[in-house]
Amino acid sequence: MTWVFIEPTDVWLFRDGRPFSAGEGHVARSIFPPTPLTVQGALRSLVLGHSEVGWQEFRHQSTPKARELGEVIGYPAVQGRNASLGSFSIAGPFLARREGGKIVRYTPLPADVVRYAQDGAHFGLRPTRGLPFKTEWPVPDLYPLWPGKTEVVKAPDPRGWLSERGLEGYLRGEPFAPLQGEKLFDREPRFGVALDYEKRQSEPHMLYQAEFIRPAARQDGEVGLLVRLGPDVTLPAQEGILTLGGEARGAYYSQLDDGRVSAEAGLRVPTRRFKLVFLTPAWFSGGWQPADGSMGWSRILGGPAVLVAAAVRIPQHIGGWDIAVGWHKPMYHYVPAGSVYFFELVQEDKHSISFPLGAVTETPEGELSLDAQGFGQVVAGTWEWFEFSQE
Tell me what pLDDT residue 273 has. 92
Backbone phi and psi for residue 206, each to the nearest 5 degrees, phi listed first:
-120, 45
H/E stretch holding 296 = helix 294-301
Query: Quick one: residue 69, left, alpha or beta (phi over 0 = left, psi -120 to 50 = alpha)?
Result: alpha
CATH for 2-102+183-262? 3.30.70
pLDDT averages per 10-residue partition of the chain, 391 residues: 90 72 59 92 94 90 92 87 91 92 93 82 86 76 81 78 93 86 82 68 68 73 90 93 86 92 88 94 95 90 91 89 73 94 80 83 93 95 83 45
Alpha helices (runs of H) in 36-191, residue ranges in sequence order: 36-49, 55-60, 64-73, 164-171
Decide: 325 and 355 in contact? Cβ < 8 Å: no
> Which residue type, as a one-letter code, is found at position 360?
V
Distance CA 154, CA 95 (A): 26
Tell me what pLDDT residue 249 has. 85
Tell which residue, 70, 85, 155, 146, has the closest CA to residue 363. 85
Cα dihedral sign, 81-228-178-150: positive
Q: Which CATH class is domain 110-156+266-391?
A: mainly beta
pTM of this structure: 0.90
Q: C-alpha distances in angstroms, 271 versus 128, 295, 307?
A: 19, 20, 15
Tell me what pLDDT residue 22 has. 45
DSSP helix/strand/coil, 315: coil
Tell me what pLDDT residue 355 has. 85
Distance CA 136, CA 150 (A): 25
Decide: 271 and 39 in contact? Cβ < 8 Å: no
Tell me what pLDDT residue 203 has. 67
DSSP helix/strand/coil, 372: helix
Tell me what pLDDT residue 14 has. 83
Adjacent-strand bridge partners of 186 = 214
> What are the sequence ranges of the domains in the chain?
2-102+183-262, 110-156+266-391
